[in-house]
Amino acid sequence: METRTFPARPLRDLATTSLASTGVPEPDARLTADSLVQADQRGIGSHGLLRLPLYVSALRAGGINPRPTLTWVRRHGAVAVLDADAALGQIALDRALEHVVAQARHHGVAAVAVQNSTHYGAGAYWTDRLADHGLIGIVTSTTGPAVAPHGGATPLLGTNPLTIAVPTADDAPLTADMATSAGAYGKVVAAANEGRPLPEGWAVDARGRPTTDAEEALSGALLPFGGAKGSGLSVLLEALAASLTTAAFAHRTEDIWADRGARMNTGHLLLALDTDAFTGRAHTERKVSDLRDRVRACGATGTHVHAPGDPERRAAATAAREGVPLSPATVDLLDALATELGLTAPSDLPWTDGGTDTPGGGAT
pLDDT of residue 359: 31
User: Where are the domains positioned within the chain?
Assistant: 4-63+308-348, 71-282
pLDDT of residue 358: 36
Q: Residue 8 and residue 340: Cα distance in Å, rounded?
A: 21
Contacts of 196 (CB under 8 A, 6+ apart): 1, 190, 214
Highest mean pLDDT of the ranges 78-82, 185-189, 324-328, 329-333: 78-82
Calculate mean pLDDT across residues 26-35.
98
pLDDT of residue 355: 42
143-173 pLDDT tens trace:
999 999 999 989 999 999 999 999 999 889 9
For the cut 90, the answer to whether the pLDDT of residue 356 exceeds it is no
What does pLDDT average to over the chain?
93
Which of 316, 326, 257 has its CA nearest to residue 48? 326
For the cut 70, the answer to whether the pLDDT of residue 245 exceeds it is yes
pTM summary value: 0.91
pLDDT of residue 2: 75
pLDDT of residue 186: 84
For the cut 90, the answer to whether the pLDDT of residue 125 exceeds it is yes
pLDDT of residue 26: 98
For the cut 50, the answer to whether the pLDDT of residue 357 exceeds it is no
pLDDT range class, residue 114, cuts 50, 70, 90:
very high
pLDDT range class, residue 363, cuts 50, 70, 90:
very low
Calculate mean pLDDT across residues 263-287.
97
- Mean pLDDT is lowest, of 128-137, 248-257, 291-300, for 248-257
CATH architecture of 4-63+308-348: Orthogonal Bundle (1.10)
Catalytic residues: 119
pLDDT of residue 190: 87
For the cut 80, the answer to whether the pLDDT of residue 353 exceeds it is no
Share of the chain above pLDDT 70, in %: 96
Give whole-number Cα distances, 233 to 81, 199, 228, 276, in Å. 23, 22, 9, 29
pLDDT range class, residue 142, cuts 50, 70, 90:
very high
For the cut 50, the answer to whether the pLDDT of residue 74 exceeds it is yes
**Helix axis angle, 124-132 to 26-41, nearest 10°:** 100
pLDDT of residue 1: 57
Letter string b/e over residues 62-84, b meaning 16 or more CB atoms within 10 A of that residue's CB: ebbbbebebeeeeeeebbbbbbb
pLDDT of residue 37: 98
Calculate mean pLDDT across residues 314-318.
96
Whether domain 71-282 has CATH 3.10.580.10: the reply is: no
3-state secondary structure 61-111: HCCCCCCCCCEEEEEECCEEEEECCCCCHHHHHHHHHHHHHHHHHHHCEEE
pLDDT range class, residue 362, cuts 50, 70, 90:
very low
Which of 287, 289, 37, 42 has its CA nearest to residue 177? 42
pLDDT of residue 350: 55
For the cut 70, the answer to whether the pLDDT of residue 286 exceeds it is yes
Contacts of 241 (CB under 8 A, 6+ apart): 113, 140, 141, 142, 160, 247, 267, 268, 269
pLDDT range class, residue 336, cuts 50, 70, 90:
very high
pLDDT of residue 271: 98
For the cut 70, the answer to whether the pLDDT of residue 110 exceeds it is yes
